[in-house]
Structure 1
């Protein structure tokens, strides 16, 4: 349906060859009127600042040439300029303002191309166009995940591929707490992480039908994981998938594999498998399922270095006590006891730690309660780190990030749950040098803080004020509120987050909601974010040096 709108009279062009009206500009050349969008399709520069010659308009910023009558970009490396039909009736100029939105598939193609180029500006532009065209965020995310998989095929068939796809999922989750006009700025945090060149790989197919049974599958999966044979793992997983899809049985098999003792020092495997299972639930797409299974095989079958002495001791103890561990049964409920667990964890002998922890579980504990206690202990260490701590953030946050990964798959019951807890205990032993620290008691006067105070404290790098503000503004009940999540994360997302930071932020939000003491998670994240800002930005570091002390 056309919509002609009278905009002006020809007399308005007696002394000029152009007039701008809201989103478009009308040009007068050689007796004819032309109207185009007043934003260059390349980077949005005003077209009314451009030059016209021989029916071609040239943007004044990057000098892209467009046909003034039809909008075509002569060099072909940029989108075409949007043209609005013009007509003159009784000396009045009319413009057809009816929308001629681009085909959705064309916009999705732009997203794929921008990811392949690695150009964050083009990615942001493509995402904004899709959001403006009311394309569902799920469709944008699926397209980005497909492209991310093609990128990982060529560049890194390792756990890095899962970190990148999970970043897209994490950004998508955060975007659900933001208004529509801001979703694009959140999605870009994940999509940019999975951008770059792409490539193909040879097709991997399931094994011939009826070749294997369930028992043989499990034995061979363990064997191939020990031998670092990703191809053998992938073919068996595809065979299971061909029979039952991405079923709970397949998911439990993946978790059982990820908690084999030879992965005790490679806890990222469990984190990655949990992420794959989460992605399979969020995004229902057959082609992506096969990609997820390939990623699972890559991480389960990756080459591993020889374990060090303490890892050998851990593996030996876990193997020797496997039957005792598996005989232990979780209760429906139990009382939280972080004090007793801390006494167990912070002993000097690994064998004693494992033995005492097993004895603690044998007294009757609920899985969720123990997981919460371990998460709280990890968060306490995380929150007590200081600025410029020498790079301890990753180690300090790994505990509750792993707790979050385990929690996300807690609906899947099996032997992997008990083993995952012992992996966590081994993590605490390996990172025993990250001491619990002294609680950071910031001044807590009667001042009432606002969200502006919180935001401004990030600009001024005022860590104590940021922490006091969030204490003042937050309650346990507000943690799950979308408005709170938007306000808490906004200054954090103003920075260029790394994959680990984005993953940590999601774990902070999840774990804070599941645990009675939410403060350590949020307060630690604030210090972490300000510390990263200092380390990445010379200007910020200078400001910190002049005004912090």
Structure 2
């Protein structure tokens, strides 16, 4: 089985980040690495506009503004004068290049290579509709502002800068760094427009162009944050986009393009109808401690505006990242916000800021405050009410329990199967008492997370998809969030040391146990019959997944997942294929987050023979048809059945 270090070999375009892990981890596991924070180049220069006749260039921002550029380092042979008095496209031939120049409106010029990248037809003979150029040969469409091809598999056409010198207009045929940076800026504007219109082809083309221009994933993430931070609540979109970034780091160029496109599509979908934030003045406290007191009081009073103002003020007076993390984490875990979104969104916000820099915290954390305060709390959530009461009545000494977690020597833990059985079949009190007993005995926190992860995978496999319409509306939400919450809990544990995680562990246990009511009844278990099968390769598996996805044959797909064998499964191509299949359904944000959670948990559980249950659980949720869905009663049945039907 490949370990996480092997994954790095498949990386081509972006480096991975460095993630701090606990030194005393029980299993010496290697956490899946995050993209390394690349430093944004300082090469983008502020261009000054003159009050000369305005000529819109082919390299200006896509928001249809006019601008005039003064050339700096171009040589005379790079600049070719063009005739501005034209009605039809003109062709410039110089330096071995053939460039088509288009005039759109008064003094608006654009220049692109005259040969269509499809089959070389002259683009000067094409037609224009606004900024869109249509090749007259096979109707390939390009955006004149940045050369982007609007077809999913099309190739972009090179475009050239239009600029002015001494009141004359030139096309710049050079390839200066300045021209490259200008094209990058235009492409970001093109991407912004595509997000606003939910245009997947335009988003994909923009992402492909940005990566081709060697734009760092960090810079692309900063752009996404700016889009999201202006909205009154960002809900799933930032968390889902960060999930796409974390998945994309494991793929080659094409996989990165598709995965980041999926992330931007979740932003586009989730921002529909969401209003922009009203600007507020920050309230600057006397010091950090006073700011925390005032902030928590505003949260208890449900004063969202004041809480935002105080968060901005706290960020002004305190710059220590570790203190800020502890403060925000305390806020996010005081209640079990919105089906575990409190911890999920918070850890994604931390990952984002660790990536792009905490100086941008004012763009993310105030929005996080509003998002969580708009969510339900544990005391208002029926399935967590009993756990909350048990937790409060137990009057736990969290410091004492946590001290046992920080001890160098941990007791040997051999009760995984028993604990998993209690999580799946016990009642709320059984689950609470067993979790508490194991913690008080000093069992390593991450080993308990491992048990939760495997239990959640089985719970997903047991879920009654056949009768989903008759279940409570929140049933699917809770089941999928069992795993996303567990992955957030593991990530938080590996980067912080705080006893507030104990409460989250109890909530995790209760979520898994509560979902028992959504299991398929045992007498409805339906088994498919197959011939004995042989071992297959990763590439064969991906081919099978394509076929079975179209036919909605998820049980066949689950069988193939097991058939490949744990020692042969390369998770990269498998999850790359899963991302591609998610994209066919336009990219549900829950599915994207769950996919990342399962990917991360699969890697973390490398010492567990039955970790393939995570893959089976994900396969089921990706592949099932809501009109015809049947499922095994338990993960153990899946394991037993697949082993019987598989030859080695």
> TM-score category by the smaller chain?
0.7 to 0.9
**Partner of residue 604, structure 2:** 514
Matching residue within 372, 391, 414 for 1:300: 372
Distance apart, 1:146 and its partner CA: 1.0
Distance apart, 1:482 and its partner CA: 4.2
CA distance in 2, matches of 1:128, 1:36: 19
- Alpha-carbon deviations, 1:72-95, whole Å to 9, x = none? xxxxxxx9994799xxxxxxxxxx
CA distance in 2, matches of 1:165, 1:116: 16
- Alpha-carbon deviations, 1:311-369, whole Å to 9, x = none? 44433322222334553234453425333223443566534542343223212211100
Distance apart, 1:431 and its partner CA: 1.9
**Partner of residue 406, structure 1:** 489
**Partner of residue 423, structure 1:** 507
Confirm or deny: 8 A CA contact 2:424 2:455 kept in the other structure: no
**Partner of residue 177, structure 1:** 250
CA distance in 2, matches of 1:110, 1:503: 26
Q: Relative to total residues, which structure has the larger helix share, 1 or 2? A: 1
1:409 match: secondary structure = helix
Q: Does 1:259 align with 2:333?
A: yes
Q: Which runs of 5+ in 1 are unaligned?
A: 5-16, 19-23, 28-33, 72-78, 86-95, 537-549
Distance apart, 1:494 and its partner CA: 4.6
- Alpha-carbon deviations, 1:21-74, whole Å to 9, x = none? xxx9889xxxxxx98444499xx998477369xxx986555999989xxx9xxx
How many residue pairs match? The answer is 479
1:534-545 correspondence runs (5 A): none
1:232-247 correspondence runs (5 A): 232-245=306-319, 247=321
**Partner of residue 532, structure 2:** 445
Q: Which runs of 5+ in 2 are unaligned?
A: 1-73, 78-89, 92-96, 101-110, 148-155, 163-171, 470-474, 630-648
Q: Does 1:366 align with 2:453?
A: no
Confirm or deny: 8 A CA contact 2:112 2:160 kept in the other structure: yes
2:468 match: secondary structure = coil
> Structure 1 residues 501, 304: closer, same or farther in 2, change over 3 A?
closer
CA distance in 1, matches of 2:202, 2:628: 27
Distance apart, 1:408 and its partner CA: 1.2
CA distance in 1, matches of 2:546, 2:582: 8
Q: Does 1:523 align with 2:611?
A: no
CA distance in 2, matches of 1:463, 1:299: 35
Confirm or deny: 8 A CA contact 2:528 2:555 kept in the other structure: no
**Partner of residue 8, structure 1:** none
Confirm or deny: 8 A CA contact 2:325 2:350 kept in the other structure: yes
Q: Does 1:208 align with 2:292?
A: no
1:28-427 correspondence runs (5 A): 36-39=113-116, 47=123, 50=126, 59-60=135-136, 61=139, 82=159, 99=175, 101=180, 102-150=182-230, 152-153=231-232, 157=233, 161-195=234-268, 196=271, 200-210=276-286, 212=287, 214=289, 216-245=290-319, 247-260=321-334, 262-263=335-336, 266-284=339-357, 286-287=359-360, 289-302=361-374, 304=376, 307=380, 311-329=384-402, 330-331=404-405, 333=410, 334-346=412-424, 349-385=427-463, 388=466, 390=468, 393-410=476-493, 411-427=495-511
Q: Whose relative contact order is higher, 1 or 2, with alpha carbons under 8 Å and at least 6 apart?
A: 2
Distance apart, 1:139 and its partner CA: 1.4
Confirm or deny: 8 A CA contact 1:176 1:183 kept in the other structure: yes
- Alpha-carbon deviations, 1:393-432, whole Å to 9, x = none? 4332221211101111112111211111111122134322
> Structure 1 residues 327, 107: closer, same or farther in 2, change over 3 A?
same
Higher mean C-alpha deviation, range 461-470 or range 418-427: 461-470
> Structure 1 residues 529, 397: closer, same or farther in 2, change over 3 A?
same
> Structure 1 residues 493, 470: closer, same or farther in 2, change over 3 A?
farther
Confirm or deny: 8 A CA contact 1:338 1:377 kept in the other structure: no
Confirm or deny: 8 A CA contact 2:479 2:512 kept in the other structure: no
CA distance in 2, matches of 1:63, 1:484: 33
CA distance in 2, matches of 1:367, 1:240: 32
Confirm or deny: 8 A CA contact 1:376 1:400 kept in the other structure: no
CA distance in 2, matches of 1:314, 1:229: 27
